Structure 1
């Protein structure tokens, strides 16, 4: 079987695709691959923060279109970039094992959130990261930053920023050696799906889905299902400053979640332990708890997206 894989052309996207291919080959020896590079709106428009472009699934949608048009068999994504709702003709068919889901403060001087000097400039284009960071440190400046991982690190080394907030998973996948200070999910709940690579296929490709399922990491797949159900129940897109992390622990799921005003003035963070028998139901229960405790904040933030 030849599997045509659609992905973006960034170094991180290619690396993630290689991870998927290695995982598939581990369980299916007679598979070959053809790589199809898709340039998305998010890759072309680097002048604005993502939340100002206003396109849901800005990285995901155009890659998935290649699958829907029959130009590719599967699409590979950072799962955090995928909206909770995708085309009914598509299905999340596979997730390799999850990498570290946490965010980190990246600097050249081994700063952490507490030791970052007052008036420091920190780079991120994520409203979620901006809001949670400002809720902890009102004395710093948060400045938007775009570009791939290498571009962001170069801007840090050129002293355009004192620090960045980035996903640990991306740094580790690219083996980038920088000073990293992990940020606890209890302080900055990660984006739903962070650290997970998602493989999407057409729903009617049962033969292909069977191959992908053999390569699936079931624990990661359950965590993804819980987090995406959480996102769907809230009704939030990728640009709402919302975090949700589900970690499987035997027969239970430990779910940490939160939402924050982008300027850090108001936030809600909580952790609960839920039954893992039905991960999607667990995600919905976590969302219901968030809605009960922060309904006003959720409503205000959804209104502006």
Structure 2
């Protein structure tokens, strides 16, 4: 049986899919890569106006449902938090560096950028956290693939912020002038992780994908996405989260940090929570309850009720890394 893997056509998407394909081939499977064009790939409109990151996932999911492909590879932060009927995330491979990275003109670090420097980012989360640092930066809303954003540096903007994982997978870490510490900049929930999806009734494909799953990564991103789902964070809500699995005397535990901020960076809440790794979903939701109790809804577009199937992750404008 040949496993047909669907992917977006961008360099990053095809590279990510290539890693999954290589792992499957190494396990003895025949693999064919099928390129799928998504709505988000053929428009320059802000993604928040198109319905969030679902515009990148929906075409791949349609291809899964109609049998054109057997597997779809997504950047996990591109997926809505609500379960997708008939599909399952069969594998979440080991996470790559979840941090954000600064690429600035003249090799400058964040602290070296002069007041008034223009930072290009389409992410409300990144913009809010950078503004909160009080460095006097200006911001420009940008879109485009990784190459397009890098070309802007020194020409249209002084710096851009991209996911370290994307640059790592593309072999472009040499352009990074600073990896941003999560103390300053918490990443998008799920950043750095891939989701390998298939039909939930396709037992043979599920079995083939199972060895690719990394339990620690799955636990960490489960906690992050549970927080996001409980907050019902809209596509423009600046929410960041990072969970890590660490060993403790009583077994594996999740240590999780998160932030909810106002768009202008004037207000933010930062909270953390630790608990058993096997209770990842509960930990994420419990941390969300702490945010809601502490007034997160007063500073950002987050809601107090259980999300519906139309909700999308807060990282909707970050899909091109």
Q: TM-score, normalised by structure 2?
A: 0.88
Q: Distance in 2 between matches of 1:55 and 1:241?
A: 14
Q: Deviations over 1:12-44 (max 9, x none)?
A: 000000111122234x21x11111111111111
- Is 1:84–2:81 an aligned residue pair? yes
- Is 1:233–2:200 an aligned residue pair? no
Matched residue, 2:20: 20
Q: Distance in 1 between matches of 2:162 and 2:260?
A: 18
Pair 1:272–1:143, CA change in 2 (3 A): same
Matched residue, 1:213: 210
Question: 1:127-138 alignment to 2 at 5 Å?
Answer: 127-137=124-134
Pair 1:201–1:237, CA change in 2 (3 A): farther
Matched residue, 1:35: 33
Matched residue, 2:284: 283
Deviation at 1:192, TM superposition (A): 0.6
Q: Which runs of 4+ in 1 moved over 6 A?
A: none
Question: Is the CA contact 1:107–1:164 (under 8 Å) kept in the aligned structure 2?
Answer: yes
Unaligned runs of 5+ in 1: none
Q: Secondary structure at the match of 2:54?
A: coil
Deviation at 1:238, TM superposition (A): 4.4
Question: Is the CA contact 2:263–2:300 (under 8 Å) kept in the aligned structure 1?
Answer: no
Question: Is the CA contact 1:186–1:256 (under 8 Å) kept in the aligned structure 2?
Answer: no
Q: Deviations over 1:176-195 (max 9, x none)?
A: 12133111222221111100
Unaligned runs of 5+ in 2: 305-313, 315-321
Q: Secondary structure at the match of 2:230?
A: helix
| Number of residue pairs matched by the alignment | 300
- Is 1:125–2:126 an aligned residue pair? no
- Is 1:161–2:157 an aligned residue pair? yes
Deviation at 1:272, TM superposition (A): 2.3
Deviation at 1:243, TM superposition (A): 0.9
Q: TM-score, normalised by structure 1?
A: 0.92
Matched residue, 1:253: 254
Deviation at 1:138, TM superposition (A): 5.5
RMSD: 1.9
